[in-house]
Amino acid sequence: MKTKKIYLLRHGQTDYNLKGIVQGSGVDTDLNETGQNQAKAFYNSYKNVPFDKIYISALKRTKQSVQPFIDLGVPYEILKGLNEINWGNKDGQMISVDENTQYWQLVKGWNSGDFGLKMEGGESPSEVEKRLLEAWNHIISNEKEENILICMHGRAMRILLASILHNDLRKMETFEHHNLGLYILTYSQDTGLVIEKSNCKEHLKNLFC
């Protein structure tokens, strides 16, 4: 297998991000003006990369973040396995002080290794990890695709990176994720996965975000 270069991108900003509203897989929001500008800035910085394929979640904020590349004719595939975690009855709700406390209690449980914990009606990290790994294995199985662009979501990115790099979901919180922040990884059977860039925001330096 040839070495693959994987550009792993979080979607651009939405009004829910800006307002502090819970935004999981149960919420399908559009990019706001800042998010659209972030997408344009990323495109301008990486438009010369010969992407073989784009993979996005089933939520439109990911497609909107890479739309300029799709408009160029780069083939893309929607994978529901890349969707954000489902926050259950908290999806679409403003984050109150009590809910913020509940969230950090949940994260504390995850950090201690209880990956079955979840919001009422939502998904646990273990459940999300299972579908993410199915999507990941599908993506890396195509030997002809050498330059790959993946656009997904913050918590899902944390789960995926902790799983594929450390096989330990307790590492989730170590992976920061700015809107339109970029991780670049290389993958081969000989070397495995290697991170080249982490949460890179150089392409956004001229934006107020």
The model's confidence at residue 2, banded by pLDDT at 50, 70 and 90, is: confident
Residue 189, annotated ligand binder?
Answer: no
Q: Is residue 171 part of a domain?
A: yes
- Answer positive or negative: Cα dihedral of 40, 59, 32, 90: negative
In this structure, the strands spanning 76-78 and 182-188 are unpaired
Residues 6 or more apart from 131 whose CB is under 8 A from it? 80, 81, 83
Residue 13, annotated ligand binder?
Answer: yes
Residue 170, annotated ligand binder?
Answer: no
CATH number of the domain at 54, please.
3.40.50.1240
- 32-76 pLDDT, tens digit per residue, is 999 999 999 999 999 999 999 999 999 999 999 999 999 999 999
Q: Is residue 88 part of a domain?
A: yes
pLDDT score recorded for residue 95: 80
The model's confidence at residue 96, banded by pLDDT at 50, 70 and 90, is: confident
Q: Is residue 123 part of a domain?
A: yes
Residue 105, annotated ligand binder?
Answer: no
Residue 122, annotated ligand binder?
Answer: no
Residue 155, annotated ligand binder?
Answer: no
Domain that holds residue 185: 4-128+146-204
- The structure's pTM equals 0.95
- 163-185 pLDDT, tens digit per residue, is 999 999 999 999 999 999 999 99
Answer yes or no: are the C-beta atoms of 160 and 6 closer than 8 Å. Answer: no
The amino acid that residue 199 corresponds to is N
Residue 177, annotated ligand binder?
Answer: no
What value does the mean pLDDT of the chain take? 95
pLDDT score recorded for residue 209: 40
User: Domain count of the chain?
Assistant: 1
